[in-house]
Amino acid sequence: MVSNITKIFLVLNSGSSSEKFSLYEGDDEVCSLYFEGIEEDGKKKFICTITRADGSEELMDKRWDTLDGAFKEAKAIFEKEGFINEAHPLDGILVRTPAAGKYFTKHHIANEETFRELEKAKLTYPLHVPGAIRGLKNAMETFPGVPVLTMSDSEALTRSSRRDVDYALPEEVINEFELARYGAHGSSYGYIIGRVKELGLLEKRMIVCHLGSGCSVTGFIDGEPAYTSMGETPLEGLMSSTRTGSIDPTIGALLGEKLGAEEAIKVMIKQSGLLAMAGSSDMREIIAGAEEDDKKAAKAFDLFVDGVAGKIGEFAAKMGGVDAIVFTATIGERSMPVRNAVMDKLEFMGFEIKHDATIDKTKGFANIAEDGSKPVYIIPTNEAAYMIKKAGELLDGVEK
- Is 91 annotated as catalytic? no
Tell me the per-residue pLDDT of 41-67, one tens digit each, with 9 for 90 and over.
Answer: 888 899 999 999 888 999 998 888 888
> Is the pLDDT at 399 greater than 50, yes or no?
no
Q: Is the pLDDT of residue 358 over 70?
A: yes
The beta-strand segments (E) located in 311-364 are 324-328
Torsion, Cα 307 308 310 313, to 10 degrees, reads: 170
Over its C-alpha atoms, the chain yields an Rg (Å, rounded) of 21
Q: Which of the four pLDDT bands, split at 50, 70 and 90, describes residue 27? A: confident
Q: Kindly name the residue from 61, 91, 153, 248 that is annotated as catalytic.
A: 153
Q: What's the residue count for the chain?
A: 400
Smallest CA-to-CA distance from 329 within 373, 359, 299, 285 is with 359
Query: Is the pLDDT at 272 greater than 90, yes or no?
Result: yes
Given a contact cutoff of 8 angstroms between Cβ atoms, the answer to whether 46 and 40 are in contact is no
Q: Residue 176: which residues within 8 A CB-CB, separation 6 or more?
A: none
Residue 195 has pLDDT above 60, yes or no: yes
Q: Do 220 and 253 meet the contact criterion of CB atoms below 8 Å apart? A: no
- The average confidence (pLDDT) of the chain is 93
For the cut 50, the answer to whether the pLDDT of residue 140 exceeds it is yes
Provide the CB-side half-sphere exposure for 284 (13 A, CA): 3
Task: Decide if pLDDT at 5 tops 80.
Answer: no
Distant-in-sequence, close-in-space partners of 40: CB < 8 Å, separation ≥ 6: 63
The pTM of the full predicted model, rounded to 2 decimals, is 0.93
> What is the per-residue pLDDT across 154-187, written as a single tens digit (0 to 9) for each?
999 999 999 999 999 999 999 999 999 999 999 9
What does residue 235 show for φ and ψ, rounded to 5 degrees?
Answer: -70, -30
| Pair 331, 212: CB distance under 8 Å | yes
Number of H helices, E strands in the chain: 13, 14
> Mind listing the domains of the chain with CATH numbers?
8-152 (3.30.420.40), 199-383 (3.30.420.40)
Write the pLDDT tens digit of every residue in 314-356: 999 999 999 999 999 999 999 999 999 999 999 999 999 999 9
